Chain A
């Protein structure tokens, strides 16, 4: 889906000397910033941002090195990616937005939330990686393959375009970062409400791991979207948007 067709605006900002590309649909509700997975970009999230923009000020950003953002000479580490997200939020003058990660993006937003308290008002973790029991390249590749048969075939060309944009070195580096990260040690430090979303047929995020993620989050809550694979934002943008709206409404009521 093209940017104009999706009814989205493209806005770029310079963060830490690097251009960060973002796509936005201005809705009435509070801001939600989406962060994509390993090696990919905002491409897979555009339909979701369009759906979410009905009710929220919905953004998605390309992490430095990926999609339309500038390419740093060396691939960024996970903390550097998280710093870029925190820097972008400050640059965009958003007041404690909800940070929504997809897949590896969950690891980025969790790192952002615990290392930059005050940046995120809440988190949505859609398909949080990586199950500690699968922290080996072979296991991860096996899970990825088993999951891919359930993903929409229309997503494959988008993935290919993303991998070409980023180049093999950055793609592999991102997967390496995802495996080195010990997200389970950071989850107990997340001090904001967090919604964990798992596709019922997600082979990369086993049910037991999604439950453990939720259990470790002090203010976590799990929702399983029956029958969906790993990329819930691509397979059911409307459904996920409804969940996010419900979650943010609930979080606001509890805060009030």
Chain B
């Protein structure tokens, strides 16, 4: 099976991979990197019309879109991780760099890598698997139906850990016809090793992006876990025990259930989408030692912890370049535009999703770091009025903190939540900004590293290139010995 077909296009990891790879090729990201720039205007018009469809039809379109992307269950065992790694590495230009990133998916990390003109090799990918006839609020049934396929995948790929994920809150529409198989590399794939050896300069730095987020799971096999829900608007506890918000949500969606019946929790494991699986570290240490690279670990507790750090790094960089640094661009989930972030002189602040916790995080950052003359906000529409979602009104309150211009970018607020056009309009509207800055030469790694190592959100540690021993800035902190 073609690797590009096996992997989900509308996922964080692939969206980030496309955005960064296109940037490193000197390009922007029209149609979230899924189509040619020439198709943007007709696509925007068509999706704008689709926004006017009745709710039921739109919900079916989401479900059908997920199903169409997914891999037939009988073919899951044919997927080979080596092909996936080759496909990922093939996105990037062959170019010498001082620094390269590997590990967790993260939108702020994409902007960090873009500033440095460095590649990032994702540890995690999503393989959507077709599966019918399971009610979204019955996770045990999902597991029962897909368990054999999961076992086939892990048996065929000893270097992968499978995190099956069932989020009946935010993925309600998508999981009608598919199951989420997130795979993480526990061994360094050959294609990644080769790409790094061709491109990372001698004496260069390999940075491990290590998101420490963990989530309750049920263990299915030695390399196979089933994750209960996901990071977003609901808490791990709500996925397990339910609660008034969950009951209300299920009632609104006409579900026969009032809480979810996940299988019993065995343990916590790295979160399926964002968390870093530390089993990969020994291979990286060995590779770095062999090539004379420094291996640095950039640890952070939760995905959005990196957002203020990278935003502040950009602000400092803009100020050094004589730009005002008072323009903020908040991007959501896989809506990322590193090229136009720099061309518009915008400070990037990445939101993991469109939820209340993310909204509060953005408001907090604006209040701490502001005032900003301009705030632009892209919002990803996932089609579900899920628990913990922040309404357009809530986002508007954050935009109102802008001194001059606080606007949605590519959001049809009347259609929001089921706003297909945003996938085309986010880039389209941002790219039309009239006040632009020239594309700067890459930020120096030395400057960035000093900045990152000094931030309290980040646990920065370094393994000696030859010794392979962690010599952390703060070795007593939890996690440094992982």
Residues on A facing B (Cβ under 8 Å)? 200, 206-209, 211-212, 214-215, 217, 220-222, 224, 226-227
List the one stretch of B86-94, B432-440, B441-449 in contact with chain A: B432-440
* Contact (Cβ within 8 A) A222 B405: yes
Q: In chain A, what residue has the closest Cβ to B399?
A: A224
Q: How far is the CA of A217 from the CA of B406 in the complex (A)?
A: 15
Question: Known contacts A207-B432, A211-B405, A214-B404; can you find 19 more A-B pairs with CB under 8 A?
Answer: A206-B432, A208-B429, A208-B432, A208-B433, A208-B434, A209-B434, A211-B374, A211-B434, A214-B405, A215-B373, A215-B374, A215-B404, A220-B404, A221-B404, A222-B404, A222-B405, A222-B406, A222-B407, A226-B414
Listed by A's residue number, 26 A-B pairs whose Cβ atoms lie within 8 Å are A200-B413, A208-B433, A208-B434, A209-B434, A211-B374, A211-B405, A211-B407, A211-B433, A212-B434, A212-B435, A214-B404, A214-B405, A215-B373, A215-B374, A215-B404, A215-B405, A215-B434, A215-B435, A217-B404, A220-B404, A221-B403, A221-B404, A221-B405, A222-B406, A224-B407, A226-B414
Contact of A227 among B374, B407, B414, B429 (CB under 8 A): B414
- Cα A206 to Cα B434 in complex, Å, equals 11
The minimal Cβ–Cβ distance linking A225 to chain B, given in whole angstroms, is 11
Specify which chain B residues have a CB less than 8 angstroms from the CB of A207 in the assembled complex: 407, 429, 432
Residues from chain A with a CB closer than 8 A to the CB of B433 are 208, 211
With both chains docked as a complex, state the minimum distance between the C-beta of B1 and any C-beta of chain A, in angstroms: 42
Which B residues lie within 8 Å of A217 (CB)? 404
Residues of chain B contacted by A226 (CB below 8 angstroms): 413-414
A214 and B403 alpha carbons, distance in the complex (Å): 10
A212 to B405, CA, bound (A): 10
Those of B400-456 within 8 Å (CB) of chain A: 403-408, 413-414, 429, 432-435
Interface size on B, residues (CB 8 A): 15
In the bound complex, how far is the Cα of B374 from the Cα of A207, in angstroms? 14
Complex Cα–Cα for A212 and B435 (A): 7
Expressed in whole angstroms, the Cα–Cα distance for A207 and B408 within the complex equals 10
Q: State the majority secondary structure of interface residues on A.
A: mixed
Which B residue sits closest to A184, measured CB to CB?
Answer: B434
Distance (whole angstroms) from the CB of A47 to the closest CB of chain B: 23
Q: How far apart are A227's CB and chain B's nearest CB, in angstroms?
A: 6
In the bound assembly, the distance between CA atoms of A221 and B435 in angstroms comes to: 16
Bound CA span A200–B408, Å: 10
- Least CB distance from A132 to B in Å reads 9
Min CB gap A184→B, angstroms: 10
- In the complex, which residue of chain A has the Cβ closest to the Cβ of B406? A222
Tell me how far the C-beta of B367 lies from the nearest C-beta in chain A, rounded to whole angstroms: 19
Q: Which residues of A contact B413 (CB under 8 A)?
A: 200, 226
A215 neighbours in B (Cβ, 8 Å): 373-374, 404-405, 434-435
Within the complex, what minimum Cβ distance (angstroms) separates B398 from chain A? 15
B432 contact set on A, CB distance < 8 A: 206-208
Chain A residue, CB-CB nearest to B430:
A208
CA distance A206 to B432 in the complex (A): 9
Using CB atoms, name the residue of chain A closest to B408: A224
Chain A residues positioned under 8 Å from B429 (CB to CB)? 207-208
A212 nearest CB neighbor, chain B only: B434
Residues of A within 8 A of B404 (CB): 214-215, 217, 220-222
User: In chain B, what residue has the closest Cβ to A217?
Assistant: B404
Which A-chain residue is minimally distant from B434 (CB atoms)? A212
Q: Which residues of chain A come closer than 8 Å to B405, judged between CB atoms? A: 211, 214-215, 221-222
Residue of B whose beta carbon sits closest to that of A215: B435
CB distance from B396 to the nearest CB of A (A): 10
* Residue in chain A with minimal CB distance to B433: A208
> In the complex, what residues of A have CB within 8 A of residue B407's CB?
207, 211, 222, 224
Chain B: minimal CB distance from A247 (Å): 13
Bound form: Cα–Cα A215–B406 in Å: 12
Query: A-facing mask of B294-331, CB < 8 A → 1, else 0?
Result: 00000000000000000000000000000000000000
Q: In the bound complex, how far is the Cα of B413 from the Cα of A227, in angstroms?
A: 9
Q: Could you tell me the distance between the alpha carbons of A252 and B434 in the complex, rounded to whole angstroms?
A: 31
Q: How far is the CA of A212 from the CA of B408 in the complex (A)?
A: 15
- Complex formed: what's the CA distance from A200 to B414 in Å? 11
Contact residues of B between 354 and 377, Cβ < 8 Å to A:
373-374
Q: List residues of chain A with CB within 8 A of the CB of B434.
A: 208-209, 211-212, 215
| A161, B404: Cα distance in complex, Å | 38
Q: How far is the CB of B373 from chain A (nearest CB, A)?
A: 8
- Residue with the greatest number of chain B CB neighbours at <10 A, chosen from A211, A212, A226: A211
A-side contacts of B406, CB under 8 Å: 222
> A220: which B residues are within 8 A, CB to CB?
404
B32 to chain A, nearest CB (A): 20
Q: How far is the CA of A227 from the CA of B434 in the complex (A)?
A: 22
Max chain A Cβ within 10 angstroms of own Cβ: one of B374, B405, B408, B433: B405
A34 to B481, CA, bound (A): 69
State in angstroms the CA–CA spacing of A207 and B428 once bound together.
11
Inter-chain CA distance A211–B375, complex, in Å, is 11
**Complex Cα–Cα for A211 and B408 (A):** 12
Closest to A206 in B: B432
Q: How far is the CA of A217 from the CA of B403 in the complex (A)?
A: 12
A169 to B: closest C-beta gap in Å? 34
- What residues of A have a CB within 8 angstroms of the CB of B408 in the complex? 224
Interface centre among B373, B374, B404, B413 (most CB of A within 10 A): B404
| Chain B residues in 8 Å Cβ range of A212 | 434-435
Which B219-256 residues have a C-beta within 8 angstroms of A?
none
Q: How far is the CA of A209 from the CA of B413 in the complex (A)?
A: 20
B333 to chain A, nearest CB (A): 22
A208 to B434, CA, bound (A): 6
Q: How far is the CB of A173 from chain B (nearest CB, A)?
A: 28
Complex Cα distance, B407 from A212, in Å, reads 13
What's the Cα separation between A50 and B403 when bound, in Å? 30
Chain B contacts for A221, CB-based, 8 A: 403-405
Give Cα A221–Cα B433 distance, bound, in whole angstroms: 16
Min CB gap A4→B, angstroms: 37
| Residue ID in chain B nearest A198 by CB atoms | B407
Query: Which residues in B have their C-beta under 8 angstroms from that of A208?
Result: 429, 432-434
- Distance in angstroms from B370 CB to nearest chain A CB is 15
- Nearest CB on A from B346, distance (A): 12
Taking CB atoms, residues of chain A closer than 8 Å to B373 are 215
Q: Which of B373, B407, B429, B434 has the most CB of A within 10 A?
A: B434
Contacts of A222 in B (CB 8 A): 404-407
What's the nearest-Cβ distance from chain A to residue B414, in Å? 6
8 A-B pairs with the lowest CB-CB distances in the bound complex, closest first: A208-B432, A212-B434, A222-B405, A226-B413, A208-B434, A214-B404, A211-B405, A214-B405
